């Protein structure tokens, strides 16, 4: 093999290597998720998260003390009924960060219940943290709690 | 383009029940995107995104058994059965929340085109239009 021939081969190998390097650096378009669910589905999921379940869903009952202590003692039966209905609706059907409000024109008391976080326990049970702001007799009381969904669709207040 | 328009329509449709209950006008796409921006900094962090996706999982899980079946998943506009199958790592025919979040987290990475760890409005816009 002549020196000239070897030089030609070297140039060819260099050219091939450069081509591979350049191709490797070239953008192949938008990043794509190899194992993802897809942008369109994610958009739909965001919408589903925001849409919640709507007001027509039959909400389960609330198990445990939703409003306890001295504040609970100051609520009448109608207040309690409204409070439980609002909490059930909020936990079952309303996205985190959105509120369900109730008011009782007879007592003048008002309240909002807002789920703030949804998660699953190790056993797969759904739980939702929530805030509750109740205005009773002109005084505002804010509380935080967690409720977990039982298999029968009821929500149990766990703290 | 057509897919994007359909997605927008579905978003408005999906948001209608709650919106209707509160007597507010239908939400725009931008409002829907902003719903995940919990700290109102104009960007969606991974934590904010996954928080919203936990909500999505809960609402899409119709029978509340803690898993998404292909039937439940396919109620989402843009759902792709092939992607569902890939996300189903243990091949039991359903997605656990863990499988779901791992998969959707990869979507977050794909959408984050400038790799700064947050999604800006433009990134979200182009992402869901793909």
Q: In the prediction, which pLDDT does A26 show?
A: 40
- Integer Cα distance of B124 and B116 in angstroms: 14
Taking residues A47-65, report their average pLDDT: 66
B-chain residues near A90 (CB < 8 A): none
- Whether A53 has a pLDDT exceeding 90, the answer reads no
B-chain residues near A52 (CB < 8 A): 17-18, 59
User: Domain range for residue B84?
Assistant: 2-128
Put simply, whether A141 touches B (Cβ < 8 Å) is: no
As given in the structure block, the two tokens for residue B30 are 């931008």
Q: In the prediction, which pLDDT does A159 show?
A: 81
Q: In the prediction, which pLDDT does B71 show?
A: 96
Q: In the prediction, which pLDDT does A14 show?
A: 53
Residue predicted with more confidence, A137 or A10 = A137
- Integer Cα distance of B93 and B54 in angstroms: 20
A-chain residues near B3 (CB < 8 A): 40
- Whether A136 has a pLDDT exceeding 80, the answer reads yes
Beta bridge partners of residue A39, listed in sequence order: none
Confidence of residue A155 (pLDDT cuts 50, 70, 90): very high
B-chain residues near A54 (CB < 8 A): 16-18, 20-21
Contact (CB, 8 A) for A107 and A78:
yes
- Integer Cα distance of B85 and B88 in angstroms: 5
- What's the CATH code of the domain at B94? 1.10.238.10
Taking residues A20-39, report their average pLDDT: 54
Q: In the prediction, which pLDDT does A17 show?
A: 43
Phi/psi at B38 (5° precision) = -65, -40
- Integer Cα distance of A41 and B76 in angstroms: 6
Q: In the prediction, which pLDDT does A23 show?
A: 38
Among A38, A46, A126, whose Cβ lies nearest the Cβ of B64?
Answer: A126
Closest listed residue to residue B98, CA positions, set A22, A50, A151, A122: A122
Residue predicted with more confidence, A77 or B26 = A77
| DSSP track, A137-156 | TTEEEEEEEEEEE-TTS-EE
- Whether A98 has a pLDDT exceeding 70, the answer reads yes
> Is the CB of A39 less than 8 angstroms away from the CB of B129?
yes
> Is the CB of A124 less than 8 angstroms away from the CB of B96?
yes
| DSSP track, A56-98 | TS----EES-SS-HHHHHT--HHHHHHHHHHHHHHHHH--TT-
> Is the CB of B21 less than 8 angstroms away from the CB of A118?
no
Q: Which regions of chain B are under pLDDT 50?
A: 1-27
Taking residues A47-69, report their average pLDDT: 67
Domain count for chain B, please give it.
Answer: 1
A:93-122 residues touching chain B, CB 8 A cutoff: 93-98, 117-120
Mean pLDDT of chain A: 77
> Is the CB of A45 less than 8 angstroms away from the CB of B84?
no
A/B interface, count of CB pairs below 8 Å: 184
As given in the structure block, the two tokens for residue B68 are 């998404």
- Integer Cα distance of A1 and B88 in angstroms: 58
Q: In the prediction, which pLDDT does A121 show?
A: 95
Instruction: Enter the ipTM.
Output: 0.73
What 3-state DSSP class applies to B39? coil
Q: In the prediction, which pLDDT does B121 show?
A: 84
Q: Which residues have CB under 8 Å from B3's CB, separation 6+?
A: A40, B78, B129
């Amino acid at each position: 093999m002549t020196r000239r021939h070897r030089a030609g081969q070297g140039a060819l190998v260099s050219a091939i290597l450069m081509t591979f390097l350049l191709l490797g650096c070239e953008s192949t378009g938008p990043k794509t998720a190899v194992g993802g669910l897809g942008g369109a589905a994610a958009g739909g999921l965001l919408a589903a998260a925001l849409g919640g379940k709507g007001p027509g869903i039959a909400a389960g009952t609330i198990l445990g003390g939703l409003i306890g202590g001295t504040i609970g003692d100051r609520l009448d039966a109608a207040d309690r009924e409204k409070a439980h209905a609002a909490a059930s609706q909020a936990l079952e059907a309303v996205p985190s960060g959105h509120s369900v409000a109730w008011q009782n024109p007879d007592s003048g008391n008002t309240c909002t219940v807002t789920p703030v976080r949804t998660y699953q326990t190790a056993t797969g049970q759904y739980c939702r943290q929530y805030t509750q702001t109740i205005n009773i007799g002109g005084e505002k009381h804010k509380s935080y709690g967690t409720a977990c969904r039982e298999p029968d669709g009821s929500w149990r207040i766990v703290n | 383009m057509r897919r994007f328009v359909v997605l927008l329509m579905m978003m408005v449709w999906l948001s209608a029940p709650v919106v209707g209950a509160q007597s507010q006008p239908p939400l725009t796409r931008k409002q829907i995107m902003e719903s995940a921006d919990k700290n109102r900094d104009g960007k969606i962090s991974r934590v904010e995104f996954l928080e919203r996706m936990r909500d999505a999982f809960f609402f899409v899980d119709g029978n509340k058994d803690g898993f998404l079946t292909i039937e439940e998943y396919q109620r989402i506009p843009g759902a792709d059965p092939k992607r569902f199958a890939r996300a189903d790592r243990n091949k039991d025919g359903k997605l656990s929340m863990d499988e779901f979040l791992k998969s959707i987290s990869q979507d977050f990475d794909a959408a984050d085109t400038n790799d700064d760890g947050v999604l800006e409005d433009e990134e979200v816009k182009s992402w869901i239009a793909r």
